[in-house]
Chain A
C-alpha cells in the first residue's frame, strides 16, 4: 500500500473497509446499523416558508448539525445554516430543535426516539434571513452600547483567583444568543428597543464584577439595559449551553445592585446624608 493510502485511511476512513479489517474491541456498531431519521427542516425566508422533510441515514454519534450537513451535501446544496467549530465552542449553530432552542452541534440524534421526526427551525426571536439563518445583528448593536471596561485610576493589577471566579463564569459565554432567543421579553413581547436581553446582562455582570473596573453601570442597567423587564423566569438559564447560571449569578445580583442604588430607601437616605 502506498504511503498516502494509509494516511488516507486514517484521514478518510468512514465505516467501510478499514473497519472490517481490524477486528478487536469494536463497540457494538451493529446496534446502530443504518437507520434513517426523518428531519423536518424549515426552508424559507422573510417572505414565508415551510418545513421540508428529509430522510437522513443515521450514524453513531451523529448530531443534528451532521444531518443538516448531510442534507446539504446530498439533497439541498443551498440549505442555509451557520456553523463553525462543531464542538459547542463558537456559538454559531443556534436553532430550535423540536421547539427547544439548542446548539445543533450539541444535539445528539440518539436522543430522539426512532421514527420521531426531528423538527429543526430557525431562532424565532430574530428576523429570518434564510432557512436556519437569522439576522442576529441586533445583538451586536446592543453590545456596542454597553460602557466598556475602564480600570479604576491608580488600581493595582493584582488580584486573587477568587476575585475573578465569578466574572470568569460570565466570560465563558460563547454568544450563541440562545438565551436571547428564548427570553420571552424579546421573543414574545418584542421589547428589543428597551431590554438588552440576558446575554448582555451577563456581559455587564462580567464588567461590573471585574475587580478593578471603575465604571458605574447601575444607571445604565436600570434605564438603558432595562433590567426591570426581566421577570427572572429563568428560561435563559435553561437553554445556556455553557451552563452559565444567568439568572442566579448574573441577573439577580445585578438587580440587587440596582436596588441598592434606586429602591432601597435606607441606603438612599444614607447616601443623601453622607453625600456618597
Chain B
C-alpha cells in the first residue's frame, strides 16, 4: 500500500474560511482536539474577498431595527424558500457574533458616538451592515485566524480532502493529500465539519477562485448526505467581462447606486424597456426624473423623483443585459456598458475607490472617463448540504456543515451581507454541534484499509495512464457546457443537453492523464477537483430541470412565473448507488408566531448580494 501519515482528532474541520475557522474555534473551546484543513494557505479562503459588510441588527443607527425585521428581510429575499429556523437563528444571533468579533480584536468603522458603524444595503430595510471600508471579509478572516491559532487548533495548510470515510453509517475520518509533497494523509476523527465554500469554478465567468470546486458538497454527497437548493446559484449582474484576465471580477452594485447608467452598443439606455409592469411606477419615467433623483441623492436631500431604472432587482437587470446581447446589441465582449463617467471624477474616486483602482490597475480603464463593460458573473451558491438548523448536523451522523457549503439559510436568493453573518452564526453552531457529538462517542470509528487503498489508487491513476486528455481540456469543456446551458436563464432543452454532456464529460474526466510528479502539481489537483465539479454540476442541472418555475436566482425562460406548489418544496439530491437521485422534499412549516410577523408588514423587499 502507498505510504501515508495519520493524524487523529476528535473534530476535523474542512475549510478555513469564516465558517470553518469559527467552527474550529468553538469546537476547540469546548475541549475537543481539532484539526483544521485548508486547500490554500491560512487566511486566503474566499472570505478574504468579501467587501460590503456583515449584516446584523445591531440597531446602532436605526433604532427601529431588530431581529424580527432582519428575519423578515431574509425570508422575503429568499422567496420564502429558506429554512425559517435558520433565518431566525441568524437574525437573532448575528449581533452577538459581530460584537464577539470586535472582542477578538476586529476594528470596525465607527459611528460618531463611538459604536460600530452600519451601512445600508439592497434588501435590508435598515442600515445593518457592520463594515471596515470595503474589506470587511479580510478583517473577519484575520480576526478569526489570529484567535484560532492562539487557541489550540492544529492547522493543516495546503491539504486537500478527497474522501470521507464512514463506519456503520457514522463518520470515521477523511483522506487528504498534501499539495506541497503529494503525500497522502489519513485523518481519523469522530466528527467532521464541512465548510468548503461554493462551486463557481464550474463556470468560466465567476467571481470565485480555483478553490470553489464544490468539494464539500461532493464529499458530503458521496458520504450519503442530502444536498438541497442546488438550482439556486446567484449570478451577479455586473461582473467585468473584459479584459479576459479579470473576466467575472465583481463590479459592486454601488456603481449603479452612484448613478451608473446601463447602455447597449447603440447607446440606448435600455433598462426602461425591461421594468416589469407591476413595478414600473416605482421607477423614474424619463432621463430627467432619473437625473433629478440622482442629484438629490448626491446632495443627500429628499426628493419626489423616483429611482433610475438601473436600480431594478438583480434578476431583472441580468435579464435585460442578456436580452440586449441576444438581440445583437451587446458590447464587443458580450455585455453592456455601465457608464458613470459623466459624474465628476472626484466624486467617483471618493465614493468608489476600490472600483476606480480595480479598473485602473487591472483593466486600464479610467472609469471617470470611459464606460465599463459588464455582464453577469457566477457569484454564490445558495444550495448545499442540508443541515439541522440548531446544530449544523447533516443527514449523516457525525457530519456537520456550515457556510456557503451548507444550505437552507438563504433560500432562493441571498441578501448582501448575510453571508458573512451566516458564517459566524452557523460556523459556531456547527462547531458546537460537532464537539457535542464527538464527546458523546466513546470509541473512534474504524476505517477499513481497503477503502483507504482504493481511494489512494484512484487518486494516483491519472499518473499511470500512458495517454489521455489534459484535465484542463475537460475543465474548459465543463465550463463551456455549464455557461451555455445552465447559465442565468435556463430552458428545458438546454438543461437536457447539459445532462447528456455531463455524462460524457464524466467519462472523459475518468480518463485524464497528468504529467509530472506529485509535488505541487496543479494539473493533478485539477484532475481531482474536476470530479467534484461534475457532481455539483449534475446536481445543479437536475434540480434546475425539476424546478419548473422562476424563483429567486433560478430563472426559467419556459416557466417565467411562480408556481405556488413549488414554493413549498426544496429540491433534494441524494446518492443512490453510483447515481444521483433528485426530488422535491417538503419545506418545514413556519410556526404561527413567525408567520404573524409577515401579516403585519406586507410590503415586499428587494434582492441583493
Contact = CB atoms under 8 A, between A and B. Distances in A.
Report whether chain A binds chain B: yes
Interface of A: 1-15, 18-19, 21-27, 29, 45, 59-63, 65-66, 72-74, 77-92, 106, 108, 110, 129-131, 133, 135-137, 140, 143-144, 148-149, 151, 157-161, 163-164, 167-168, 171-175, 207, 210, 213
Contact of A3 (B370, B490, B520): B490
Interface stretch (B79-87, B327-335, B577-585): B327-335
B219 interface: no
A158 B115 contact: yes
B105 interface: yes
Contacts of B521: 78, 80, 130
Given A77-B514, A137-B157, A61 B265 contact: no
A23 B358 contact: no
A256 B31 CA distance: 41
Interface in B163-215: 180, 203-205, 209-211
Contacts of A161: 109-110, 117
Given A161-B110, A172-B135, A25 B265 contact: yes
Contacts of A2: 491, 493-494
A160 B333 contact: no
Contact of B489 (A3, A130, A159, A172): A3
21 contacts: A4-B484, A13-B334, A18-B334, A21-B330, A66-B245, A77-B515, A77-B516, A78-B521, A80-B521, A84-B211, A86-B209, A87-B49, A110-B364, A129-B519, A133-B520, A136-B41, A148-B146, A149-B104, A160-B112, A171-B142, A172-B138
B511 interface: no
A194 to B, nearest CB: 21
B290 to A, nearest CB: 21
A92 B491 contact: no
Contacts of B485: 4, 8
Contacts of B138: 89, 171-172, 174
B35 to A, nearest CB: 15
B321 to A, nearest CB: 7
Given A4-B494, A11-B204, A59-B243, 4 more contacts: A59-B245, A80-B522, A85-B49, A158-B114
B101 to A, nearest CB: 11
Nearest to A168: B107
The prevalent SS among residues of B at the interface is: loop
Given A61-B362, A73-B472, A89 B114 contact: no
B238 to A, nearest CB: 12
A149 B321 contact: no
Contacts, number: 266
Interface range, B side: 35 or more
A12 B478 CA distance: 12
A27 B361 CA distance: 17
Given A22-B331, A77-B514, A78-B523, A12 B484 contact: yes
Contacts of A73: 470, 472, 476
Interface string B30-60: 0000000000111110101100000000000
A19 B44 CA distance: 35
Contacts of A85: 48-49, 209
Interface in B464-513: 470-472, 476, 479-480, 483-491, 493-494, 497-498
Nearest to A1: B326
A190 B371 CA distance: 49
B266 interface: yes
Nearest to B321: A10
B562 interface: no
Contact of A86 (B102, B246, B332, B470): B246
Given A12-B483, A19-B333, A158-B114, A82 B41 contact: yes
Contact of A108 (B242, B326, B364, B497): B364
A92 to B, nearest CB: 5
Contact of B103 (A6, A15, A151): A151
Contact of B480 (A8, A29, A62, A135): A8
Contacts of B135: 89, 172
Contact of B361 (A5, A14, A22, A106): A106
B363 interface: yes
A18 B330 contact: yes
B139 interface: yes
Contact of B149 (A3, A84, A144): A144
A92 B494 contact: no
A207 B147 CA distance: 13
Given A3-B490, A78-B523, A129-B519, A26 B332 contact: yes
A45 B371 CA distance: 45
B545 interface: no
Contacts of B493: 2
Given A62-B243, A157-B103, A92 B40 contact: yes
